[in-house]
Amino acid sequence: MASTTLDDARDESSVNPREEFAAFLESNKQWSDKVNQEDPNFLPELAKKQEPAILWIGCADSRVPETVILNGLPGDVFTTRNIANQFLPDDNSVQAILQYAVGVAHVRHIIVVGHTNCGGIISAYNAAYPIDEPTPYTYHKGLDASNTINSVDQWIAPLIQLAVSTPGLGTAEPGPERDRAVHELAIKNVERQVDALCSSHVVRSAWAHAHGPPGPNSPKLVGVHGCLYHLESGLLEDLKISRYRPSH
């Protein structure tokens, strides 16, 4: 049988799981060979150090691969992704990543990236304003069928709270108005995470100890940005909420 490729693996009826896993490894080998042929020094040099310009806080959604959509290369983006791109104070993973990215990797940009048709956002909205409609994930009020704590529910709880507490977001019926409200919630969520980042000890400390003039034109000062990625076009929308070191 001819070797399975990643393209074959996308047609899940054509491969068994063992072949599918082998296809992932084969695809990686083909990529490695291609990169090493094009520039034999690139990966060996990159292995010595990383100097990413960006910390990307994005959604875990498979359709938003940060380095791919930035047309970038390994080494470009320090990354953390979770359901609905949240930066939560009690999430030690994202807090440690922020500390490392700013304090050690010296990123110059922190970008929070939400996206259209986000399952986490839709699920949170539907939990806040229930209707009888298929949804990517159904909120179970903290307990799943086996009566254990449900991790997804816990994770999206702040988004439900955001949906409920944001004026003008509540709609009871399916349709364009509800779609607009879900879109608005995705944007509000990015704004909330940008606010949280700018209030974090790491960012405030970086701004307080930075030298040189404040503002967006000062080199080596971290800026915090918010974007919305449009799955339908592949374009990043700048939400124009960038924040830089304040002038006082």
- Minimum distance of Zn ion from residue 33's CB (angstroms): 33
Quick one: tokens of 91?
């999430």
Task: Choose between 77 and 206: whose C-beta lies nearer to Zn ion.
Answer: 77
Task: Choose between 23 and 181: whose C-beta lies nearer to Zn ion.
Answer: 181
- Minimum distance of Zn ion from residue 118's CB (angstroms): 3
- Minimum distance of Zn ion from residue 215's CB (angstroms): 32
Quick one: tokens of 229?
């990625």
59 appears as a binding residue in the annotation? yes
227 appears as a binding residue in the annotation? no
Helix, strand, or coil (residue 28): helix
- How many other C-beta atoms lie within 10 A of the C-beta of residue 156? 27
Site residues for Zn ion per CB under 5 A: 59, 61, 118
Q: In whole angstroms, how large is the CA radius of gyration of the chain?
A: 21
118 appears as a binding residue in the annotation? yes
- Look-up: residue for tokens 């359709």? 63
The span from the CA of 116 to the CA of 182, in Å, is 9
Buried b (16+ CB within 10 A) or exposed e, 191-226: ebbbbbbbebebbeebbeeeeeeeeeeeeebbbbbb
198 appears as a binding residue in the annotation? no
- Minimum distance of Zn ion from residue 124's CB (angstroms): 11
Task: Choose between 60 and 131: whose C-beta lies nearer to Zn ion.
Answer: 60
Q: Which residues are annotated as a binding site for Zn(2+)?
A: 59, 61, 115, 118
Binding residues: 59, 61, 115, 118
